[in-house]
Amino acid sequence: MSEAPGILCISTYEKGQAFLKEAARLGCAVTLLTVDKLANANWPHESLNELITMPEGLTPGQVLNTVCYLARSRRFERIVALDEFDLEVAALLREHMRLPGMGETATRFFRDKLAMRVQARAYGVAVPEFTGVFNYDDVRAYMAAVPGPWLLKPRTNASAIGIKPIENADELWPILDQLGDLQSHYVLERFVAGEVYHVEGVSWKGEVLFAAPHKYGHPPMQTMHKGGVFTTRSLHPSSEDAKGLVAIHAATLKALGMYSGVTHTEFIKSKADGRFYFLETAARVGGAYIAEMVEASKAINPWIEWARIEVATLLKMEYTLPTTRDDFAGNVICLAKQEEPDLSGYTDPEIVRRMKKHHHAGLMVKSASAERVEALLESYGERFLEDFCTSQPVPDKPSA
């Protein structure tokens, strides 16, 4: 009997259980490399060939040495980063071990906010005006030409972590002084007022097979910086917003060179001109229970499809997207003042999931009506503010 093909999955956060289970179900020997403090997390041990831990905070070079040591007695034929913050080290490992998949340059287009903006703009995708933080004369010229306010964004953080609003030019320079040598790791971008959307995508050999457009209630940056309730919901595919999102999403992924895999991509619809602008993308599954929401509405789980794509690529087989469904779903989530929030007062039959996480309240709803989902989320958002919602300072760096 031939040896099972080996997949090394790297995750410094607790996520991707559905990927691990599906890869194992398809006959792969799955090794999970995570950090020591997640050794006892809720991993699907029955699906793992091995669970190996490492200290938190290792440099990419140290992770490379760790994996190459493991490879002396194990055969890894595919390397997958389950979390966005592990994408770069996975790319480094592929380059060093000459394994297939996205290398360091390709990965930058799905990790580095400056790289993805430069590439998208070069291919005609609409993006808010931006500049890298390198030459000060260029930065001054940018602020003179592009009206504020602006956002100073870390090039490689996820979500709204580390974003600094800049109201006028005088505010920028003390922040850059404080950042010192780290300032070149930021991008300065025009703030666009508007509504934020996201598209969950599945691509195979350069073709977008699946694109599910969704709309956030409040922009994630606003929710993270000012507190409040996070909501997102699927859009009706015949709506003008959905059609516009599918079009700019396809153009964006073509520009960035997505070949095979899953993506989570965000866009903003400007209040000023009604156009969609590209904000950012990542070659990963969306967080905040988005994968489960997609599964509820469309009958496919992005984690599972990602595993199938990786295994199909590894075994040189074709991948086919399963038949999808056209229901609608939405999530409502907030940080809760109670350790174990009591959601028993929420009894609508459309509720299909009650999220279990300390100091978080969360519900998922599903309906054949997009309007019903929207109405429920609006109602629950107001009730969550009264019943559960609290806030905490925004971290400068992510934590597991």
Architecture, CATH, for domain 194-387: 2-Layer Sandwich (3.30)
Kindly calculate the radius of gyration of the chain based on its CA atoms and give it in whole angstroms.
21
d(CA 206, CA 209): 9
Q: What single string gives the DSSP state of each residue in 263-331? A: EEEEEEEETTT--EEEEEEESS--TTTHHHHHHHHHS--HHHHHHHHHHHHHTT----PPPP---EEEE
CA atoms within 13 A on the CB side of 331: 23
Quote the pLDDT of residue 356: 85
CATH of 129-190, one of 3.40.50.880, 1.10.10.10, 3.30.1490.20, 3.10.20.340: 3.30.1490.20
Edge-to-edge strands, sheet with 328-335: 276-282, 261-270, 194-204, 207-216, 230-234, 328-335, 360-367, 351-354
Quote the pLDDT of residue 233: 97
CATH of 6-108, one of 3.40.50.2300, 3.40.640.10, 3.40.50.20, 3.40.50.300: 3.40.50.20
How is residue 139 written in tokens? 């930065």
Q: pLDDT 10s digit of each residue in the chain, 400 long?
A: 358 999 999 999 999 999 999 999 999 999 999 999 999 999 999 999 999 999 999 999 999 999 999 999 999 999 999 999 999 999 999 999 999 999 999 999 999 999 999 999 999 999 999 999 999 999 999 999 999 999 999 999 765 678 999 999 999 999 999 999 999 999 999 999 999 999 999 999 999 999 999 999 976 655 554 568 999 999 999 999 999 999 999 999 999 999 999 999 999 999 999 999 999 999 999 999 999 999 999 999 999 999 999 999 999 999 999 999 999 999 999 999 999 999 999 999 999 999 988 899 999 999 999 999 999 999 999 999 999 998 776 555 554 4
Quote the pLDDT of residue 219: 65
The ranges of the chain annotated as CATH 3.30.1490.20 are: 129-190
How is residue 53 written in tokens? 């831990």
The ranges of the chain annotated as CATH 3.40.50.20 are: 6-108
Quote the pLDDT of residue 391: 79
